[in-house]
Chain A
């Protein structure tokens, strides 16, 4: 590690100027829960470190018009404490609550979870199921990209992740999340799933399902979505959805040593998100 300078930035403009000037020599730090480890292990060796944790406009959760916007340096703990993520947005609350430990949730940020690019990032599948849009800024201007496409065209060295936003769901649109970790805290996800379901009576009128740790990055599970669309959520449908997802996994993870376990375990996780969606739809508080 050979850091020459640390900037304690106060504004987005200052950061994007610095990133424009230093490019790949610079690294942005917010909560530091991933980056400090990478620095210690010399996985990354930036000359310049830009601390963005004190920039007001990157912080917090805002409700504007039909959108909910989460600033990139909003911590997992702030999401967990926010009343916005009760009831039909419970999935994001649950995902953020299952991140690491209280210390990590107090420091780690939503923006960092996306920018770090881990396939096991817990907050990403629910944000992806919400069809979120990521806003990035650089000296060349603003770039907006859907979170689903983001991983094919991720953050560039001159870009700063500003925020992520999604449409506020209606009462009949429900977000859920489930995670398979090997212990009850500080567990790296082995499997995560999130679903966003719009119910019309008991029928699934529209649906998005996103997974974590089932590919190189979190992704939409379109085969399951297609299968579930227009069906009502009953035991037979859930069983069918599990089979569809298993087939997708068999193709995608062929030859991987983790496949035999994951293809069995997925049933519990898929069942959990679907049953939870139904429970919230029926007015049962999930927490």
Chain B
């Protein structure tokens, strides 16, 4: 016999180190030969898409395409520190540092353009497709490439820094506001529980994730699918079987993770409610995408069979045991 149920899980997640801990990202932007833009920044790509999103933020601020930017990262001898790729902090914190550095770079480029175009001031200058342009008289323009040729013996660069604002909790009461900003999400799943095998089969999933602003919607959906799959494994399959700190289940033949066949098509919904202190409103979603999935699945199991599961993973054997115990108690 199979029983179906629906469950919802919600979460809100404070991004960044939080609790008053120093949380600083830095970036340097440099005009490179050929008019290319180099962004030197210690942002680490761990598969989350930092390489893409950081370039997009820089391109947006400097009025160039992503192809015009070289991101130089992950080599600490070449760039300033931008903190860890952790705490769901790179989009918000390092994105802000890159935006600030690019805004400073705009001013540097305006200064050089003012000289080369023989202008009185930088007022009315704008960046447009790799050129500095005087907005009310667009014949007055000079390309980044030309500037890089004129100033080839001089480095045109600007720095940017973003220091996140967080406050310390009261150590006695635990009260306070340790994180800022938060991201929010909600997930609903429908499951089918086989009452004879204890196998939980996912039928449908809808997942809504607040991102402030989606810098790259495809990457964001990738993160949401990935977070869902990881959480699915942790909810239903993955069991280290720790004994006195030793991992007993140490082979992938027994330590099961979901395969593509176990994953379902998740209907992802991106919620955009721009955060006004964030780069173009964008907040991180890296960790939170995993959080509401297990509660949603456990609630759906409860909705299906009336049994609360309080220990993960919900393996078929464990679920059958719980079902038998519930039968005995009734």
Do the two shown chains form a genuine complex with each other?
A: yes
User: A residues touching B (Cβ–Cβ < 8 Å)?
Assistant: 101, 180, 182-188, 260-261, 264-265, 267-269
By beta carbon, the residue of chain A nearest B258 is A183
Considering the chains assembled together, what is the distance between the CA atoms of A264 and B316 in angstroms?
A: 11
Whether a CB of chain A sits under 8 angstroms from the CB of B196 is yes
Interface residues of B, dominant DSSP = loop
Question: Which of A184, A186, A260, A268 is in CB contact (< 8 Å) with B196?
Answer: A268
Q: Which residues of B contact A187 (CB under 8 A)?
A: 256
Shortest beta-carbon distance, A265 to chain B, in Å? 4
Question: Which of B196, B256, B262 is in CB contact (< 8 Å) with A264?
Answer: B196
Considering the chains assembled together, what is the distance between the CA atoms of A268 and B198 in angstroms?
A: 10
Considering the chains assembled together, what is the distance between the CA atoms of A182 and B236 in angstroms?
A: 10
Q: Which residues of A contact B316 (CB under 8 A)?
A: 182, 261, 265
Question: Which of A183, A267, A269 is in CB contact (< 8 Å) with B256?
Answer: A183
Considering the chains assembled together, what is the distance between the CA atoms of A285 and B89 in angstroms?
A: 54
Whether a CB of chain A sits under 8 angstroms from the CB of B122 is no
Q: Which residues of B contact A180 (CB under 8 A)?
A: 197, 199
Whether a CB of chain A sits under 8 angstroms from the CB of B320 is yes
Q: What are 13 pairs between A and B in contact, CB < 8 Å?
A: A180-B199, A182-B199, A182-B237, A182-B316, A183-B258, A183-B262, A184-B262, A185-B261, A188-B253, A264-B196, A264-B198, A265-B197, A268-B196
Question: Which of B194, B197, B261 is in CB contact (< 8 Å) with A184?
Answer: B261
Q: Is there an interface contact between A185 and B315, defined as CB atoms closer than 8 Å? A: no
Q: Is there an interface contact between A183 and B259, defined as CB atoms closer than 8 Å? A: yes
User: B residues touching A (Cβ–Cβ < 8 Å)?
Assistant: 194, 196-199, 237, 253, 256, 258-262, 315-317, 320-321, 324
Known: A265-B198, A267-B196. A183 touches B261 (CB 8 A): yes
Given contacts A183-B256, A264-B198, A264-B324, 13 further A-B contacts (CB under 8 A): A180-B199, A182-B315, A183-B237, A183-B258, A183-B261, A185-B260, A185-B262, A260-B321, A261-B198, A261-B316, A261-B317, A265-B198, A268-B197
Shortest beta-carbon distance, A89 to chain B, in Å? 24
By beta carbon, the residue of chain B nearest A266 is B196
Q: Which residues of A contact B253 (CB under 8 A)?
A: 188
Q: Which residues of A contact B256 (CB under 8 A)?
A: 182-183, 187
Q: Is there an interface contact between A261 and B262, defined as CB atoms closer than 8 Å? A: no
By beta carbon, the residue of chain B nearest A242 is B196
Shortest beta-carbon distance, A21 to chain B, in Å? 35
